[in-house]
Amino acid sequence: MTDEAIKTHPELSETFNQDEARVDWHDETLWWIRQKRDKSAHSIPEWEMLRETASQIKNNVLSDLGKYLVSFEEKALANGIIVHWAADAAEHNRIVHDILQKNGIGQMVKSKSMLTEECHLNEYLEQHGIDVIDSDLGERIVQLAKEPPSHIVLPCIHKKKEEIGELFYRHLGVPEGTSDPQILTEAARQHLRETFLTRKAALTGVNFAIAETGEFVVCTNEGNADMGAHLADVHIASMGMEKIIPERKHLGVFLRLLTRSATGQPITTYSSHFKKPRPGQEMHIIIVDNGRTIQMGRADFRASLKCIRCGACMNTCPVYRRSGGHSYHNAISGPIGAILAPNLDMKKYADLPFASTLCGSCSNVCPVKIDIHQQLYKWRQVIVKEGYADTSKKIGMQLMTFTLSSPVIYRTAGKAGRWFLKHVPFAVNNKFNPWYKHRDMPEAPEESFGEWYKRNVKQK
Amino acid sequence: MSRDKILAALQQNQPELSALPSIPVFERDQELSLTEKFKAMAEGIGSKVYLVSSLQEVQEQMNVDFADEKRIVSTVASLVSAEIPAFELNADPHSYADVDVAIFEPLLAIAENSAVWITEDRMGVRALPFITQHIVMLVNSHILVPDMHAAYERIGRTDYGFGSFIAGPSKTADIEQSLVLGAHGPRSMTVFLINEV
């Protein structure tokens, strides 16, 4: 994708909003998941204490990440795992390709890993002649549709079952017009079972990596990470360097929080702890930086690295629910994506911190207490200061500064505004005024507060 | 080398050390029966739970529930019978692709979420609990613990190559949030909760 081709969040949201019924459906579905999260969280009396503990553990991890990574590496090596370090996406992708080449493997099955989305691994491997099949059902669906996931936990939450039926009709041979989720899931099960049984390499993500033991934990409901890893000769696990937690017992805290926050389930079906390769198997871990050390240096934004990728902030966000994940044009969408993305490319993602009402709901549900809405607010200031705000916003801000800097100009502008609203409302009630979309302009008062005050109070 | 560059950058950019908190001791409702809680949670996530008092009951129920299944394997020696053959090790995990029912005896069962903890040494091979069409767990009531904190206390620093918490049959809700049991792993999970007298 070239820079010119990138549409901004408002433009992409506008496309999504053309189908009002779909927006309502999307909104309600995600809100339903948010409600399930609430019910699940409220059933745990110590929920807030758990969040606070998780937050503090992650603060400790960030403050000593170098030491924990070295300890993790040492233990993992002792366990027989091969450890790689990747400074950026390109190096990560090269490492994966090298491992596959060394083993003479041309096909790989992959379970969910947002990191590989961030690194655009699939595209890279395809360019190098490697066939990659995503095995998470939602990810397989968006892969067949040639789309990126629109949600980190629910990759095809934007798709209707009829559209999935159509994809499966074309690619997996189900009868035309199938839309029963049970039948569609069964078709995917058969298709992917064949894939699991024939692939010699499997790539998985990492939910948690334990510095104390060198093991890593992968959570799925479908069992796809395990089906891939245990049947393959080569298991590659890609992890963002911030996935470290100090000790095994800390998993008790995080596994209690993760899925309750994500979907309201008490735990995922599978929480698999990979410590050593099975006899004859090769197990690799790739520790990836890709901008994380830079984010670590930004004091206002480093807490974003505490994220455990539950997606709760998306499900609750009024903007995400009504604009869809694709409007964020980034591997990770929603509020957390909007504070992570500008670190990777401030120009390309300058629009994202503005895709928020700053209502704070994201921060309230975050299981590790990231101050998401405050970071959104702070990113806006950085982006404007660095000159990346879009032109209309910049002109608007400059005009505001000019107007607010002088009482005379302020009073004149107010008067002019009231006159326009009253006498020529069409001058502002038109499509060139973005505020007017979905809203009526207010009725203009006869006088400003200043004028009223002068007349009523000062006279006395 | 990227490793050194990354570690140097961290050294530069990490904030001041923030203390590692201790995990608080959460009060547990002693009145609550772990068995009841486990059963309710397991049924809530789509597992079938039988409360039994002998292995013979388990075998009889297995013979009823899985009468039509072709390949049944038991990693639990005490449940092997004429109808339930013992697990036999084959180094190639693909050889278990046609297993219909596999029986395991986990090490821990967690009441708060009905997950069971099982390590590699009790799996036969790692792939088996995932590749089998149906999974059966023999849970002795003395392995019940209230929550994940208690589970990790028991696990402690034990060594294993692979271990997993398994809670229910594999599932997905990726298509319009409709829950479907039997995604890539087992289509059903049956738990026999055996009460030790």
For residues B42-64, give the mean pLDDT.
96
- Domain definitions of chain A by residue range: 47-293, 406-456
Structurally, how many domains does chain B consist of? 1
> What is the pLDDT, as a whole number, of residue A433?
74
Mean pLDDT in consecutive groups of 10 residues from the start of chain A, 460 residues:
69 93 96 97 95 98 98 98 98 98 98 96 97 97 96 96 97 96 97 95 98 98 98 98 98 98 98 97 98 97 98 98 97 97 95 96 98 98 91 78 84 84 78 72 84 81
Q: By the 8 A CB rule, do A37 and A315 touch?
A: yes
Q: Which residues pair with A209 in a beta bridge?
A: A216, A244
* pLDDT on residue A220: 98
Helix (H) or strand (E) holding B164: strand B162-166
- Do the domain assignments include residue B181? yes
Q: Which long-range contacts (CB under 8 A, 24 or more apart) does A427-434 make?
A: A434/A10
Return the pLDDT at B31.
58
Q: How many CA atoms lie within 13 A of B36 on its CB side?
A: 5
- For the packed helices A47-63 and A65-78, what is the interaxial angle rounded to 10 degrees? 90
Domain membership of residue B83 (yes or no) is: yes
Q: State residue A459's pLDDT score.
A: 67
Q: What is the pLDDT of residues B119-137, one digit of tens each?
A: 999 999 999 999 999 999 9
Listed by number, the residues of chain A in 141-180 with a beta carbon closer than 8 Å to a beta carbon of chain B are 141, 154-157, 159-161, 164
Task: Summarize pLDDT for B133-159 with one digit per residue, the tens.
Answer: 999 999 999 999 999 999 999 999 999
The nearest CA of chain A is from the CA of B115 a distance in Å of 8
- pLDDT band of residue B29 (cuts 50, 70, 90) is low
Instruction: Write down the pLDDT at residue A5.
Output: 64
Tokens of A180: 């029963």
Amino acid at position B195, single letter: N
- CATH code for the domain in which residue B48 is found: 3.40.50.10420
Does residue B156 belong to any structural domain of this protein?
yes
CB atoms closer than 10 angstroms to residue A24: 12
Residue B24 domain-assigned (yes or no):
no
User: Please, what CATH class does the domain formed by A47-293 belong to?
Assistant: alpha beta
pLDDT digits (tens, 9 = 90+) for B173-194: 999 999 999 999 999 999 999 9
Q: Which pLDDT belongs to residue A352?
A: 97
Q: With bands split at pLDDT 50, 70 and 90, how would you rate the model's confidence at B80?
A: very high
Q: Which residue of A has its CA nearest to B120?
A: A278
Structural domain of B170: 31-194
User: CB distance B24–A274 less than 8 Å?
Assistant: no
Strand order in the sheet with B116-119: A244-245, A208-210, A216-220, A270-274, B162-166, B116-119, B108-110, B144-145
Of residues A56, A230, A269, nearest to B127 (C-beta): A230
Cβ distance B182 to A189 less than 8 Å, yes or no, reads yes
Residues of B in contact with A159 (CB under 8 A): 176
Give domain status of residue B84, yes or no.
yes
**Angle, helix A391-404 to helix A372-385, in steps of 10 degrees:** 90
Q: Is the pTM of this model over 0.90?
A: yes
What's the pLDDT score for residue A420?
A: 81
The C-alpha atoms of residue B153 and residue B137 are separated, in whole angstroms, by 22
CA–CA separation, A335 and A326 (whole Å): 13
Kindly report the nearest CA distance between residue A209 and chain B, in angstroms.
14
For the record, the structure tokens of B180 come out as 């479907």
Whether the complex's predicted ipTM is more than 0.95 is answered with yes
A274-303 residues touching B, CB cutoff 8 A: 274-280, 287, 289, 293-294, 296-297, 299, 302
**Closest B-chain CA to A299:** B15
Report yes or no: A53 at the B interface, CB cutoff 8 Å. Answer: yes
